[in-house]
C-alpha cells in the first residue's frame, strides 16, 4: 500500500459469529465506534490459509484447534480506519477470553469461549499491515 498505514487495522469476524448471524450487529458496532470500513469481504479459508495467517502461533498447543476452527466456516475480513486504529479496535473487541472481557465490548457480547471469541484484531501497526496484505489486494482497499 502506498498510503500511511498507521491509521489502519485489520479485523476478522470469526466463523462462530458469522454462522450465528451476528455479522450485521458487529459491523454496526464497528461503525458506531467511529471506524470507517475501507475493505470488507466474506471468505472461507482453507486449513492451509488459516495456518499461514496464524503462523506466529504454530508452536502453541492450541494451534490445531485454532486453525481448524478458523477454516470451519466463513469469516468476514475487514480493513478498518480510525486514528489509533490498532488500539481502538482492540479496546472495542475486549479481552481475548470473553469471560474476562469488559461490559460493552464485542467479545463480551458475542464471544462464546477463548477459541470462539467472535472477532480478531491486529496487535500492532506492523502486523496490521502484514495481515491486511494477507487478505486484501490494493484494489480492494477503498
Catalytic residue among 85, 120, 135, 136: 120
Among 23, 72, 96, 133, binds ligand CMP (CB under 6 A): 96
Could you give the string, one character per residue 6-25, with x where binding to ligand CMP holds by CB under 6 A and - elsewhere?
--------------------
Q: Which residues, other chains included, contact 84 with Cβ-Cβ below 8 Å and sequence gap of 6+?
A: 7
> Smaller CB distance to ligand CMP: residue 56 or 138?
56
- How much of the chain is helix, strand and coil, in % rounded to 5? 45, 15, 40
**Are the CB atoms for 105 and 88 separated by under 8 Å?**
no
- The 111-130 contact track toward ligand CMP, x by CB under 6 A, reads ---xx-x--x----------
The owner of cell 472461507 is 44
Q: Nearest CA to 10 among 113, 135, 138? A: 135
Asked if 66 interacts with ligand CMP (CB under 6 A), we say yes
Quick one: which of 28, 62, 64, 126 contacts ligand CMP (CB under 6 A)?
Answer: 62
The question of whether 44 is a catalytic residue gets the answer no
Q: Which is nearer to ligand CMP, 114 or 141 (CB)?
A: 114
Sole binder of ligand CMP in the list 28, 52, 65, 126 (CB under 6 A): 65
Integer distance in angstroms from the first to the last C-alpha of the chain?
11
- Label each residue of 106-137 as H, E or C: HHHHHCCCCCCCCEEECCCHHHHHHHHHHHCC
What positions carry a catalytic annotation? 120
Residues that bind ligand CMP (CB under 6 A): 57, 62, 65-66, 96, 114-115, 117, 120
Amino acid at each position: 500500500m502506498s498510503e500511511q498505514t498507521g491509521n489502519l487495522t485489520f479485523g476478522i469476524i470469526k466463523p462462530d459469529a458469522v454462522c450465528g448471524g451476528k455479522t450485521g450487529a458487529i459491523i454496526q458496532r464497528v461503525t458506531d465506534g467511529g471506524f470507517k470500513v475501507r475493505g470488507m469481504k466474506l471468505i472461507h479459508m482453507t486449513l492451509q490459509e488459516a495456518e499461514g495467517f496464524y503462523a506466529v502461533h504454530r508452536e502453541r498447543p492450541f494451534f490445531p484447534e485454532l486453525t481448524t476452527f478458523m477454516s470451519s466456516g466463513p469469516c468476514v475480513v475487514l480493513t478498518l480506519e480510525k486514528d489509533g486504529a490498532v488500539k481502538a479496535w482492540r479496546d472495542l473487541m475486549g479481552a481475548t477470553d470473553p469471560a474476562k472481557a469488559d461490559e460493552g465490548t464485542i467479545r463480551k457480547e458475542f464471544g462464546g469461549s477463548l477459541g470462539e471469541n467472535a472477532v480478531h484484531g491486529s496487535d500492532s501497526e506492523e502486523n496490521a499491515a502484514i495481515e491486511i496484505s494477507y487478505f486484501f489486494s490494493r484494489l480492494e482497499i477503498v
